[in-house]
Amino acid sequence: MQLDVNGKQYDVDVPADMPLLWVLRDVIGLTGTKFGCGMMQCGACTVQVDGAPTRSCVTPASTLAGKKITTIEGLSADASHAVQRAWIETDVVQCGYCQSGQIMAAAALLTTKPKPTDADIDAAMNGNLCRCGTYQRIRAAVHRASELMAADKLGEVGHVA
Amino acid sequence: MLRELFHKEKKGTLSRRAFLKSTALASGGLVVAFCLPAGLRRAFAQEAKTAVIPPNAFVHIAPDNTVTILLKHSEMGQGVWTSLPMVLAEELDCDWNKVRVEHAPAAPAYAHTAFGMQMTGGSTSTWESYDQLRQAGAMARALLMQAAAANWNKSVADCHAAGGFVVCGDKKISYGELADAAAKLPMPAEVKLKDVKDFRLIGKPMRRLDSTAKVSGKAEFGIDVKRPNMLVAVVARAPVFGAKLKSFDATKAKALPGVVDVVQVPSGVAVLGKHFWAAKQGRDALVLDWDLGAGATLSTAAMREQYRKLAQTAGTVAKSAGDIRATTKDAGIVEAEYEVPFLAHAPMEPLNCTVEIGKDGCDIYTGTQFQTMDQGTAAGILGLKPEQVRIHTTFLGGGFGRRATPTSDFVAEAVQVAKASGKTVKVVWTREDDIHGGYYRPMWLSRLRAAVGVGGKPASWEHTIVGQSIIAGTPFEKAMVKDGVDVTSVEGAADSPYLAAIPVHRVDLHSPTSAIPVLWWRSVGHSHTAFAVESFIDELAHAAKKDTLEYRRDLLPADSRERRALDLAAEKFGWGKPLPKGHAAGLAVHQSFGSYVAQIAEVSIDDKKQIKVHRVVCAIDCGPIVNPLTIEAQMQSGIAFGLSAALHSEITFKDGKVEQSNFNNYQVLRLNEMPKVEVHIVPSTDKMGGVGEPGTPPIAPAVANAVFAATGKRLRQLPLRFA
């Protein structure tokens, strides 16, 4: 089957029921997306499919033909996405294992809701577990990313003008 | 209590007798390593062989000025990747932006200065290596200064070091340029450490050095390891503890696409596949016939009954003063039982281990807290010398104690799979494997009984503890089970600061055994003793009709570190001031791992009887500070971890089987439940304590005490639930 991952085409020969997570990790070799539960309970495997946050651990790769898959590796080449910058600035990470999923969920949220409230963040990211308990800084960093994105946009406008 | 043991081991050994060794690397550059003296007592360790001086070090300065700091401790979220390099870099005076960090290999030079084995745990990393890393940094700086002075034909006294350069008048030369020459110089006998007032890094808020790797998916965890020709294995393990495999049929498994091999190992049957999915499908297709044995009758309901009965009888005495019977005859008696369940650690990264056996030894890639144990265990299985087993420590996707097993269970099993199959293999556990896999925080029951004396103060105090010993049967038994008492079972209870104010007291212990493997879980014994002691003190305060803060203050010495933490938390919280309608506050203070933490929780109960924790004010006295950001993060983290246990998590058994399986029924704290946590640090020059665990113990009793303040209902069982 053909998969579009981070703008690159991959031809993979895997069983039809094989979840995207394992195709990404064990076949394509993109290990930034993590395995945590295998039953969409923890969000560590969150990627974006056509921009929507998706649990790759239960999504058969065979259902994704023609769709655009974005993983943490595709968010930016150099940790420069506003969410990643906000995460670094806010010193969010601890063990870091859940953070790819957290960041992909946050980036998707900010695309649909550029200025989320705490309640929006809770609703969008409650499915992303963190055993280190970085939640307080995650919340702060989502707000910070929102500011950075707004500033980036202003910058872009300014540049064009 | 544990800490006292550590310090006994440490006394008079390291600081005076440690010596340094410098080595010129073939690739150029300066390496500074400590080689611990052969005579250093290793009460906790498998005997490490010190004949070989390991070719590794704490710091390596490359010609391009990059400073690589080798971390002997494992980064599992607690921040040692940043805080420990800060300590070394402080003395080295290098450019912080040029610092790179790597996990050290497993070697005697990286042994814990108190334990004598390479390991990360017990909230010890910072204080145990603080002097060592400062010495290493200062030694490297001294050599660089000497090299520069010799180069300019000047005296060292005329030079100074700053930002990765040695400066003399208008001359300036980089550490990178000096590294080769410095490596050839003899070590000075002594180096002068900086005065605290001159610190530029230690004590300052420094952001993490592993952030960029971890926000870009590039950080390598054990589960991400890829080796040439590697297969992935998933193992079918016993459905109940102690079961024996009678036979198995792998026909269906082997017929699945991607399945390469099936091998039997001591822990079960491993299916090896081209990728995880194939191995997992294969594992699930195995037909296994187990002899379940006695374990099949095990139930936590029955164990609780047994524990309750045991608690009515006298156990092995851990601490005793005065005659209990004399004070308990006529006085008013307050009595209560507190219970906590078995708990899984459930780190976000499921357990895994990659093993590559070669002609000259074995390479193990894993996130572990117990390098020396793992190395020794693997060597034993393979008939190799420990130094032939090379441990490559990756980032750990959480540890919480689960990656520090005295049996090296997940490493030993992977070695067995590699040995049996003759393949390079990565064994990956599923979440269900992790939840079912044992090594739980033990289930505990505490029975407390106090006679109320003058002014409502306790005149006597009896605390009977019932629960499985973590230490018995491990290599730590000799050092940590004293007169029949596992010190970790009673820590926080036998050394409770309240006992000093209660002339008659007794703390005793029953250590029943079962087939369930138990293990240290973030804060170990304190995870149950703080809940029991701080809940019971609260009950006594209410019985005496006293304010719960004042009641504790009266029992604690005015100059105690507990008091300082408690007073700071109370002040910052605004204890006694009105709260929003329906909200109530509860507090707890507890010392663990050398740090003193007070927490005040503000809660409300909704109409569905769900407990909502809105805010937690936390004050900590951990002695001198290395990185305040680390402390703040660890307090938030400890509180979140403790709240999972306070509000949700439990492992129960029925007919020998664990009733939970994944995060749907083994619930942990989610983002919407995270309270607003405020962390305040008590300025302190007292002895340095740890920060990885001490944030966890006080939160469950603080919340339970707040629930009582809100409802008048005393919840004495974790997770906290209204019946």
- Band of residue B30 on the pLDDT scale cut at 50, 70, 90: low
Name the residue with higher pLDDT: B331 or B654: B654
Asked: is B300-342+440-711 a CATH 3.30.420.40 domain? The reply is: no
Q: What mean pLDDT value characterizes chain A? A: 95
What CA–CA distance (Å, rounded) separates B425 from B151?
A: 52
Q: What would the pLDDT profile of B476-518 be if each residue is shown by its tens digit?
A: 999 999 999 999 999 999 999 999 999 999 999 999 999 999 9
pLDDT at A153: 87
The radius of gyration of chain B's CA atoms, rounded to the nearest angstrom, is 27
Q: Cα torsion at B438, B441, B443, B447 (round to 10°)?
A: 160
What CA–CA distance (Å, rounded) separates B188 from B143?
A: 8
What CA–CA distance (Å, rounded) separates B216 from B76?
A: 17
- Band of residue B723 on the pLDDT scale cut at 50, 70, 90: confident
Q: What is the pTM of this model?
A: 0.94
Q: What would the pLDDT profile of B164-223 be if each residue is shown by its tens digit?
A: 999 999 999 999 999 989 988 888 888 899 999 999 999 999 999 999 999 999 999 999
Distances (CA, A) of B46 to B10, B371, B377, B408, B476: 17, 11, 10, 13, 10
* E strand spans, B56-164: 59-61, 67-71, 99-103, 160-162
What CA–CA distance (Å, rounded) separates B151 from B153?
A: 6
What CA–CA distance (Å, rounded) separates B427 from B67?
A: 34
What CA–CA distance (Å, rounded) separates A139 from A80?
A: 19
- Band of residue B715 on the pLDDT scale cut at 50, 70, 90: very high
Interface test with A, best of B215, B277, B283, B369 (most A CBs within 10 A): B215
Task: Count the neighbouring beta carbons within 10 Å of the beta carbon of residue B130.
Answer: 18
CATH number of B222-293+351-428: 3.30.365.10
B48: pLDDT strictly greater than 90: no
B6: pLDDT strictly greater than 50: no
Three-state DSSP class for residue B487: helix
Q: What would the pLDDT profile of A76-134 be if each residue is shown by its tens digit?
A: 999 999 999 999 999 999 999 999 999 999 999 999 999 999 999 999 999 999 999 99
Calculate the CA A80 to chain-centre distance. Answer: 14
How many Å lie between the alpha carbon of B408 and the closest alpha carbon of chain A? 21
Mean pLDDT, range B95-109, rounded to an integer: 95
Instruction: Identify the closest residue of chain B to A118 by CA–CA distance.
Output: B672
How many Å lie between the alpha carbon of B517 and the closest alpha carbon of chain A? 22
Task: Count the neighbouring beta carbons within 10 Å of the beta carbon of residue B312.
Answer: 10
A143: pLDDT strictly greater than 80: yes
The counts of H helices and E strands in chain B are 20, 30
Is it true that the peptide bond before A15 is cis, omega within 30 degrees of 0?
Answer: no
Mean pLDDT, range B618-646, rounded to an integer: 98
B300-342+440-711 and B222-293+351-428 share a CATH fold: yes
Asked: is B2-210 a CATH 3.90.79.10 domain? The reply is: no
Three-state DSSP class for residue B84: helix
B8: pLDDT strictly greater than 80: no
pLDDT at B52: 25
Q: If we measure between CA atoms, which residue out of B266, B269, B472 comes closest to residue B381?
A: B266
A8 by Cβ neighbours in 10 Å (0-12 / 13-18 / 19+) ranks as exposed
Mean pLDDT, range B424-436, rounded to an integer: 98
Q: What is the DSSP code (8-state) at residue B417?
A: H
**Residue appearing with tokens 């610190």:** B199
Question: Domains, chain A, ranges and CATH?
Answer: 2-75 (3.10.20.30), 82-160 (1.10.150.120)
Please check whether residue B352 is in contact with residue B428, taking contact to mean a CB–CB distance below 8 angstroms: yes
- Band of residue B43 on the pLDDT scale cut at 50, 70, 90: very low
What CA–CA distance (Å, rounded) separates B530 from B496?
A: 9
What CA–CA distance (Å, rounded) separates B120 from B697?
A: 19
How many Å lie between the alpha carbon of B578 and the closest alpha carbon of chain A? 25
Task: Count the neighbouring beta carbons within 10 Å of the beta carbon of residue B172.
Answer: 12
Please check whether residue B442 is in contact with residue B467, taking contact to mean a CB–CB distance below 8 angstroms: yes
pLDDT at A109: 98
Q: Which two tokens stand for residue B519?
A: 């293990």
Contacts A26 to B, Cβ<8 Å: 232, 274-277
- Please identify among residues 256-315 of chain B the ones whose CB lies closer than 8 Å to any CB of chain A: 257-258, 274-278, 281
- Band of residue B57 on the pLDDT scale cut at 50, 70, 90: confident
Three-state DSSP class for residue B175: helix
Contacts A93 to B, Cβ<8 Å: 208, 210-211, 214-215
Mean pLDDT, range B568-594, rounded to an integer: 98
Q: What are phi and psi of B342, to 5 degrees?
A: -60, 145
Query: Comparing B6-15, B105-114, B514-523, which segment has the lowest mean pLDDT?
Result: B6-15
Mean pLDDT, range A123-148, rounded to an integer: 98
Q: What would the pLDDT profile of B124-147 be if each residue is shown by its tens digit?
A: 999 999 999 999 999 999 999 999
pLDDT at B7: 40
How many Å lie between the alpha carbon of A154 and the closest alpha carbon of chain B? 25
Amino acid identity, position A79: A
Please check whether residue B431 is in contact with residue A37, taking contact to mean a CB–CB distance below 8 angstroms: yes
- HEC profile for A80-148? CCHHHHHHHHCCCCCCCCCHHHHHHHHHHHHHHCCCCCHHHHHHHHCCCCCCCCCHHHHHHHHHHHHHH
Q: Which two tokens stand for residue A64?
A: 């994704």
- Please identify among residues 43-62 of chain B the ones whose CB lies closer than 8 Å to any CB of chain A: none
- Band of residue B16 on the pLDDT scale cut at 50, 70, 90: very low
Q: Which residue pairs, CB below 8 angstroms and at least 24 apart, start in B608-615? A: B609/B722, B611/B647, B611/B703, B611/B707, B611/B720, B612/B673, B613/B643, B613/B647, B613/B673, B613/B675, B613/B703, B613/B706, B614/B583, B614/B675, B614/B676, B615/B675, B615/B676, B615/B677, B615/B678
B45: pLDDT strictly greater than 60: no
Of B276, B662, B672, Cβ closest to residue A26: B276
pLDDT at B272: 98
Strand partners, B99: B67
Q: Which two tokens stand for residue B279?
A: 């191995």
- Band of residue B32 on the pLDDT scale cut at 50, 70, 90: low
Task: Count the neighbouring beta carbons within 10 Å of the beta carbon of residue B710.
Answer: 19
pLDDT at B649: 98
- Band of residue A161 on the pLDDT scale cut at 50, 70, 90: very low
Q: ipTM strictly over 0.95?
A: yes
What does the domain layout of chain B look like in residue ranges?
A: 2-210, 222-293+351-428, 300-342+440-711
Instruction: Please indicate whether, in this complex, the C-beta atoms of A94 and B348 are within 8 angstroms of each other.
Output: no
